[in-house]
Chain A
Amino acid sequence: AQSVTQPDIHITVSEGASLELRCNYSYGATPYLFWYVQSPGQGLQLLLKYFSGDTLVQGIKGFEAEFKRSQSSFNLRKPSVHWSDAAEYFCAVALSGGYNKLIFGAGTRLAVHP
């Protein structure tokens, strides 16, 4: 069965530090890959997505992610974290083609220290 693993439940970084959130997936076919962000009590907002092509994708708010097929990973990065980045981050995968039923990881909660 398809699955998504986010190994880090909670991460704390200092403002201005770099950030990497890990995501691994288990999928037989080439997946579509997504990162979403959720502020407390709100819906999810799309940060970036990967369908095909260049394996390094740029998203909103200065985030980027790199697809590594050999490692079945799609890690999210940001070179310098801002206090407003504190939120919960979800990695998701979907089968390529047709309607895409997303499968979400359990999420990583990011705290930012001043």
Chain B
Amino acid sequence: DGGITQSPKYLFRKEGQNVTLSCEQNLNHDAMYWYRQDPGQGLRLIYYSQIVNDFQKGDIAEGYSVSREKKESFPLTVTSAQKNPTAFYLCASSPRDRGTYTFGSGTRLTVV
């Protein structure tokens, strides 16, 4: 069955470290997205990509970076510049038209 896989499910980061969250999809979707979820704030868009080798900043891109070298993969790096990285991170993908999003099961990142 097709779907989106996020790994790891839980991730711990020390202060000053960069960490990379994995997102892989086998749905043949063109577009992929990263959202951050904090309690009471819904989902906020970090980055999105509509095509390989191209991506755009969302509403809260500062302190994050992404790449889209393959259609199936859209990894997110949380850099040391992100001052408050503890959150639940969700990856999603959608087809080109009338894109209904398919979500991964999320990665919970905690700074220790």
Contact = CB atoms under 8 A, between A and B. Distances in A.
Given A99-B50, A99-B96, A100-B98, A106 B41 contact: yes
B45 A101 contact: yes
Interface string B1-17: 00010100000000000
A53 interface: no
Give the interface size class of chain B. 20 to 34
A43 B103 contact: yes
Nearest to A6: B42
Contact of B98 (A32, A36, A43, A101): A32
B48 A101 contact: yes
Interface in A6-63: 9, 32, 34, 36, 41-46, 49, 51
Given A44-B103, A45-B103, A90 B43 contact: yes
Interface residues of A, number: 24
A1 B50 CA distance: 22
Contacts of B103: 36, 43-45
A101 B48 CA distance: 9
B99 A99 contact: yes
A93 to B, nearest CB: 12
B108 interface: yes
A94 interface: yes
Nearest to A98: B97
Nearest to A94: B99
A69 B70 CA distance: 40
Interface of A: 9, 32, 34, 36, 41-46, 49, 51, 90, 94, 97-102, 104-107
Given A44-B90, A106-B41, 12 more contacts: A34-B100, A43-B103, A43-B105, A43-B106, A44-B103, A46-B102, A90-B42, A94-B99, A97-B97, A99-B99, A104-B43, A105-B42
